[in-house]
Amino acid sequence: MGFLSKLLGNSPKKETEKMTNVKLAVIYYSSSGTNYQLAQWAEEGAKEVGAEVRVLKVPETAPQGAIESNPAWKAHVEATKDVPEVKLDDLEWADAIIFSVPTRFGNMPAQMKGFLDTTGGLWFNGKLVNKVVSAMTSAQNPHGGQEATILSLYTTMYHWGAIVAAPGYTDPVTFGAGGNPYGTSVTVDQNGKMIEDVQAAVKHQVKRTVSVAEMVKKSSK
C-alpha cells in the first residue's frame, strides 16, 4: 500500500481548494438520461472549485420515428429541450472539456462522432491544441465496452493535440465507482438505474481536469 498511498497523495490540488479562471465545457450525449446526470454532477463539481461551466448537448441525429418508439428516449429529449446544443465556438472558448457518452458497440455514439467530425477547421488552425480533456461513459454491463468507448474519444483528442487528464488512481473514490482509470464509467440496469455510486468519482475527475487546465494556463503565460 505504500506505493498506492504515495500515488493517491500526488493529486495536483486538494479538492477543497478553489481554482479560478478555468472555463470548462461539459459536452454530452444521452438518449435516456444517464449521461445527462453525469454531466450535471460534473457541472456541480466544477462550480465547487470555481470554474466557469457550460453544459452542452450534441445534436440528436436519430430518426424521429426511433425516438418516438422509445418512451424513455422520447421523454428525455423533451425534458432536455432547453439544454443548449454545443457549437464549435464552445470548444474554442473552453480551457478544458469533459465528454460524457453511452457506449455503442464499444465505441462512441454516432451523434458524438458526427459532432467531432465537424472540428476539422479548428484542428487545422491549431485551436484545439492543449485543451485539457477527460471522458466518462455508461453501459448496460461492466464489460460492455466502457473502457473502449472512453479510449475511442481519446483517440480523437490525441489528433487534436489535447492533453488527456484521465483520473487514474489519484483518489480512492475511483475504486468505489468500479475502478476505471480511463474515466468514470457506470453500469445501468434494464430500468435505467445506475448500479455503481459514481457521483463522487465524477466530481473528482472533473476537479482533477480543472486543476490540470489551471496549471496549463499558468505555464502558457
Each residue's pLDDT tens digit, 76-86: 999 999 999 99
Sign of torsion over alpha carbons 127, 130, 132, 135: positive
Q: Is 101 inside any structural domain?
A: yes
Domain assignment of residue 73, given as a range: 17-219
Which residue spans within 30-170 are E strands per DSSP?
52-57, 96-102, 132-139, 163-164
Note whether 174 and 197 are within 8 A (CB). Answer: no
Q: Is 130 inside any structural domain?
A: yes
Q: How far apart are CA 90 and CA 43, in angstroms?
A: 15
Residue with cell 455514439: 109
Residue with cell 459514481: 198
What SS3 class is residue 100?
strand
Mean pLDDT of 177-191: 93
Q: Which of 198, 191, 185, 190 is nearest to 149 (CA)?
A: 185
What average pLDDT is seen over the chain?
A: 91
Angle at 42 between CA 36 and CA 44, to 5 degrees: 110
Q: Is 50 inside any structural domain?
A: yes
Q: Which of 60, 105, 47 is nearest to 86 (CA)?
A: 60
Q: Which of 161, 178, 159 is nearest to 169 (CA)?
A: 178
Q: Is 12 inside any structural domain?
A: no
Q: Is 8 inside any structural domain?
A: no
Q: Is 155 inside any structural domain?
A: yes
Angle at 146 between CA 142 and CA 149, to 5 degrees: 165
For residue 220, the model assigns a pLDDT of 81
Grid coordinates of 154: 481519446
- Identify the band that residue 141 occupies on the pLDDT scale cut at 50, 70 and 90: confident
Length of the chain: 221
Q: How far apart are CA 123 and CA 132, in angstroms?
A: 14
- Identify the band that residue 192 occupies on the pLDDT scale cut at 50, 70 and 90: confident
CATH at 167: 3.40.50.360
Q: In this prediction, what percent of the chain has a pLDDT beyond 70?
A: 90
- Identify the band that residue 5 occupies on the pLDDT scale cut at 50, 70 and 90: very low
Q: Is 10 inside any structural domain?
A: no
Note whether 165 and 158 are within 8 A (CB). Answer: no
Residue with cell 474519444: 153
Counting the structural domains of the chain, the total is 1
Each residue's pLDDT tens digit, 16-62: 456 568 999 999 999 999 999 999 999 999 999 999 999 999 999 99
Q: Is the pLDDT of residue 74 over 80?
A: yes
